[in-house]
Amino acid sequence: MASSDIAGRGMFITFEGGEGCGKSTQVKRFAARLEASGRKVLLTREPGGTRLSELVRSLLKDEREDPPCDRAELLLFLAARAQLVNNVVLPALEAGTWVVSDRFSDSTFAYQGYGRGLPLDVLRMANDFACAGLRPDRTVLLDADPAVTLARMRSREAATATEADRIERAGAEFHSRLRRGFLEMAAAEPDRISVVDASGTPEEVEGRIWKSLKLSP
Ligand SMILES: Nc1ncnc2c1ncn2[C@@H]1O[C@H](COP(=O)(O)OP(=O)(O)OP(=O)(O)O)[C@@H](O)[C@H]1O
Ligand SMILES: [Mg+2]
């Protein structure tokens, strides 16, 4: 049990992993399960979750004429995060609400650090500043072979008549660097980050996540 579970402050739980591994599917299932267990829950996503942060999200996903350089991309992600933490996440946690976020800081380390090659020490310092020092209590890393997740993304694009966004279109080598980065971070912080096998049905993955977090009933 994490200390925040005892003290009456909400717990902050984040879901991470590469494109199409099932984060958005699983955060909804997890939040519903937490609510059913009697906790007050706020579900949010990154980048997004406030009006300003959602505007930044659309810039990050869709800008094709003047795509952000790596440093601008980092700062846009961090601006969206600072607004979300300040206006949504911290007030909710202080009020005793549990906050579940579809992506958070580990995505920055994976994408901008391991993926784009920006220095990790700079990312950690800038990210801590953006978050006012807030770190997740627990993190679920959904891990799957990129071939599995690529197939899921293609079927999602077909089902929703959408195209892959700017980051999703990055090559296979980029995506395998991301996976390696996420797994390295999980190995470095095993008490916070639970690696969950994202293959199988949504029900199977949901069960694995709940078990891995070992929350009190
Ligand atoms: N366990 C599963 N088995 C098969 N398909 C799945 C499973 N989980 C999710 N999907 C489908 O795969 C696609 C990607 O899932 P989802 O959108 O939840 O992933 P994501 O990690 O949020 O992706 P992104 O990083 O792009 O936001 C969706 O069409 C979803 O319905
Ligand atoms: Mg998603």
CA of 7 to the centre of ligand 2 (A): 31
CA-nearest residue for atom 16, ligand 1, is: 22
Peptide bond into 119 cis (omega under 30): no
Q: Which ligand is nearest to the CA of 28?
A: 1
Question: Does position 124 have pLDDT exceeding 60, yes or no?
Answer: yes
Which atom number of ligand 1 is nearest to the Cα of residue 25? 18
Q: What is the pLDDT of residues 142-194, one digit of tens each?
A: 999 888 888 888 887 778 878 777 666 667 788 889 999 999 999 999 999 99
Half-sphere exposure of 49 (CA within 13 A, CB side): 26
Cα(65)–Cα(120) distance, rounded to whole angstroms? 28
Residue 8: both structure tokens together = 């009456």
Is residue 19 lining ligand 1, measured as CB closer than 6 Å?
yes
- What pLDDT score was predicted for residue 6? 46
Which atom number of ligand 1 is nearest to the Cα of residue 17? 21
Alpha helices, H only, the chain: 3-7, 23-36, 51-62, 70-84, 90-94, 105-108, 120-130, 146-160, 172-188, 202-213
CA of 125 to the centre of ligand 1 (A): 31
Superfamily name with CATH number, domain 3-213: P-loop containing nucleotide triphosphate hydrolases (3.40.50.300)
Q: What is the pLDDT of residues 50-97, one digit of tens each?
A: 999 999 999 998 888 999 999 999 999 999 999 999 999 999 999 999
Q: In the structure, what pLDDT confidence band is assigned to residue 208 with cuts at 50, 70 and 90?
A: very high
The domain limits of the chain are: 3-213
Nearest residue to 44 via CA among 74, 72, 86: 86
Q: What is the pLDDT of residues 1-56, one digit of tens each?
A: 444 444 589 999 999 999 889 999 999 999 999 999 999 999 999 999 999 999 99
CA of 155 to the centre of ligand 1 (A): 9
Task: Compute the CA torsion angle 29, 155, 181, 71 (nearest 10 deg).
Answer: -100
- What pLDDT score was predicted for residue 7? 55
CA of 122 to the centre of ligand 1 (A): 31
